[in-house]
Amino acid sequence: MAAPRVDLYGIIHKMLRVELFQTASLIGTTNFADPQTRAETAALFGRTKAFLDEHGGHEDDFVEPSVREVNPDLAARLEKDHIGLDAQLESLVELLGQIEETEGEAAVGLGAQLHKGYSDFIGVYLTHMSCEETEVNETLWAHYTDDELVEIRDRLQGSIPPPRFAEWFALMVPAMNLQERIGVLTGIKLNAPPPVFDAMSGVAKEAIGEDAWAQVAGALP
């Protein structure tokens, strides 16, 4: 059985799905007539949007150029998708602004519109991620070696300031299964300076708890 190829999308997309669905759940249960509650929902939406914006930028800057070299039509589709998704998100930001300026039942009604609009956005975003995980990956695997894909991933991750990467990692690790956690932390331990491994281990331990971390730590080389 052939070893699995390097997947630029798998783990990060798992994390984004968790973030998307957690935000959808909170929007669905929010009492938009209550300013404090809707402010908490707006804060989580803002966090999710920030991660989505950054992820899209990472793909635009580091992945799509390699796709464009071998399949310009597919790269154009990805670019068009990103433009459309960005527009959907911005419309939701505008709706949140309207909710902030509204009270009572009118705010509840706008909250229902937000839930519908965000659900529609998720549907489109999930389809986009599926395309990347299938068609884009197949294109990358057909034209690039694993070493070349690792180089893309390393350049992408290296562009993220360490404090922000720790925030990404704190959400990524809980979304991984045990084998993925072991694989990622093993890679960091073998390839990064010890202080980096210590820092990422601390982030992981805090993110998943001591018991889950003990399973990972016990399997590391």
**How does pLDDT run across 139-153, given as a tens digit for each residue?**
999 999 999 999 999
Per-residue confidence (pLDDT) for residue 186, from 0 to 100: 97
Instruction: Report how many domains make up the chain.
Output: 2
Contacts of 61 (CB under 8 A, 6+ apart): 156, 159
Q: Is residue 3, in this structure, part of any structural domain at all?
A: no
Note the pTM of the prediction, 2 decimals. Answer: 0.95
Q: What percent of the chain has pLDDT over 70?
A: 100
- Identify the domain boundary among 132, 159, 186: 159
Q: Are 38 and 99 in contact (CB under 8 A)?
A: yes
Cβ burial, residue 217 (10 Å; 0-12/13-18/19+): middle
- Identify the domain boundary among 159, 175, 191: 159
Q: Is the pLDDT of residue 2 over 80?
A: no
Q: And the tokens for 39?
A: 């402010």
Domain with 81, as residue range(s), is 10-159
Q: Is residue 211, in this structure, part of any structural domain at all?
A: yes
Q: Is the pLDDT of residue 1 over 90?
A: no
Per-residue confidence (pLDDT) for residue 209, from 0 to 100: 98
Q: Are 63 and 152 in contact (CB under 8 A)?
A: yes
pLDDT tens for 76-89 read 999 999 999 999 99
118 and 80 assigned to the same domain: yes
